[in-house]
Amino acid sequence: MKKHFDVLILDSRYKHSLSVIRCLGKYGLKILDGSKEFSPSKFSLFSKKSFKYKNNSFEKDLIEQLRNNYVDLVIPIDYASNIKCSKIKNKIKKYSNIITSDYNLLKVASDKGKMAKLLKNMKVPLPKSYNIKNIKNIKNIKLTGKVVIKSIKEELGKKVEYVFSFHEMEKKLIERLDLYGSQIVQEYIKGFGCGFFALCDKGKILQSFQHKRIRQYPESGGVSSVAESFYNKRMEKYAKEIIKELKWTGVCMVEFIYNKEADEFYFIEFNPKFWGSLDLSISCGIEFPYLLYKFSKGENIIKKNYEIGKRFQWMLPEDIIRIKTSTHKWKSTKEWASDLFDKKTKTDLGYIFKDPFSTLIKIGGTFYRLLKNET
């Protein structure tokens, strides 16, 4: 006999997948979650059933779940699943619903080279960048000092690496070109990372939220370990122009870096999916997963304001592991403790009473990484 689930979550192994499950489960929605790897979400009180799928049989495994169950909405979390689901959107809609932009648009939005071309005629500041398709292109790079290297396409290779000399850059590019294909070399913008998050309908923003990154893991550049709610009108203007140009539908993150000396926000990338720091917006009352569910049901979305200056600390494991890998361990420990004991700062450890089993597994995973000298 078929069971009914309100939402099927893909890629449930991520921390923000668990955020989505907890947010929706709070409203009594029945969640079916899937992952290709071990997932703490499987042990969440808000997950009613879990399943596993494989990379090479993703479509078959997903459609099988939709045939065998009644599912109202499918939510992919990571980039690969969003791309795959957008490609088979019509097949999914025979059995369920999914809110996503078209496949060709997702491919443009997640390609750093194509986004740079798209934004060239817009008044959105960009770091100086070079698209490197082969070794011959390296000689055209006119950047000095610290530079950033990324794969042009989201799914290919290490996301970001930093180099400090032309020789180091050349060596790294030759290696990455061979392994991952085309690369983008970008001037390093000193400053702090900011994100503009939104739920959109054909380029119209239904709800938005902004944050600034306080700390990250690793320190050289990575995911947020502490972030703070934030608002800037100019950054909002830039993000709105990009979303309108793309005619975007669904959730997205527009990432910027703010440089104090230039007093400017520089566009870094467009993320066509849910973001890792989702807990912060939820803790501020902007519950994007539930808003997405309501939108899928045709319900009206009423824009809400949020409090500026609220923080979220991801201890399990980012802000704890950050201390171990920090070049200034005592300073990092004081920062960690300051946020931990600040009543204005929420932490993922706070889910221990609301969702104990998945939280305990994340605690265990954090200690494992500390003891095994893994980062």
Mean pLDDT of the region 324-351: 92
CA 11 to chain centre: 12
Percent of the chain surpassing pLDDT 90: 84
Q: How far is CA 212 from CA 151, 188, 209, 270, 311, in A?
A: 24, 18, 11, 16, 10
Q: What is the pLDDT of residue 196?
A: 98
CA–CA gap between residue 270 and residue 273 (Å, rounded): 9
**Token pair in block for residue 326:** 């920090």
Q: What is the pLDDT of residue 364?
A: 95
Q: What is the pLDDT of residue 221?
A: 76
Q: State the number of CA atoms in the 13 A half-sphere of 90 facing the CB.
A: 3
DSSP state of 155: T
Superfamily for the 192-312 domain:
ATP-grasp fold, B domain (3.30.470.20)
CA–CA gap between residue 368 and residue 374 (Å, rounded): 8
CA–CA gap between residue 332 and residue 322 (Å, rounded): 8
Q: How far is CA 251 from CA 91, 202, 278, 286, 356, in A?
A: 21, 11, 11, 13, 28
Pairing of strands 223-230, 204-217: antiparallel
CA–CA gap between residue 277 and residue 289 (Å, rounded): 13
3-state secondary structure of 345: strand
Q: What is the pLDDT of residue 373?
A: 62
Q: Residue 375 pLDDT more than 60?
A: no
CA–CA gap between residue 264 and residue 282 (Å, rounded): 28
> Which CATH number is correct for 128-187, 3.30.70, 3.30.1490, 1.10.10, 1.10.150?
3.30.1490
Q: What is the pLDDT of residue 158?
A: 62
Residue (of 270, 259, 127) closest to 198 by Cα position: 270
Q: Per-residue pLDDT tens for 105-115?
A: 999 998 888 89
Which strand (E) or helix (H) includes residue 86? Answer: helix 79-87
Classify the phi-psi angles of 134: left when phi > 0, otherwise alpha if psi is within -120 to 50, otherwise beta: beta
Query: Are 228 and 211 within 8 A, CB to CB?
Result: yes
User: So where are the chain's domains?
Assistant: 3-98, 128-187, 192-312, 314-371
> Which CATH number is correct for 3-98, 3.90.1150.10, 3.40.50.720, 3.40.309.10, 3.30.1490.100?
3.40.50.720
CA–CA gap between residue 53 and residue 13 (Å, rounded): 12
Instruction: Indicate yes or no: pTM above 0.85.
Output: yes
Which strand (E) or helix (H) includes residue 278? Answer: helix 278-283
Query: Are 74 and 10 within 8 A, CB to CB?
Result: yes
Average pLDDT of the residues of the chain: 94
Query: Are 18 and 354 within 8 A, CB to CB?
Result: no
Q: What is the pLDDT of residue 69?
A: 97
Q: Per-residue pLDDT tens for 214-237?
A: 999 988 778 899 999 999 999 999
Number of neighbouring beta carbons within 10 Å of residue 143:
18
Size of the chain, expressed as the number of residues it contains: 375
Q: Per-residue pLDDT tens for 148-178?
A: 999 887 666 567 899 999 999 999 999 999 9
CA–CA gap between residue 211 and residue 232 (Å, rounded): 9
Q: Residue 302 pLDDT more than 90?
A: yes
Q: Sort 273 into a burial class: Cβ within 10 Å, 0-12 / 13-18 / 19+.
A: buried
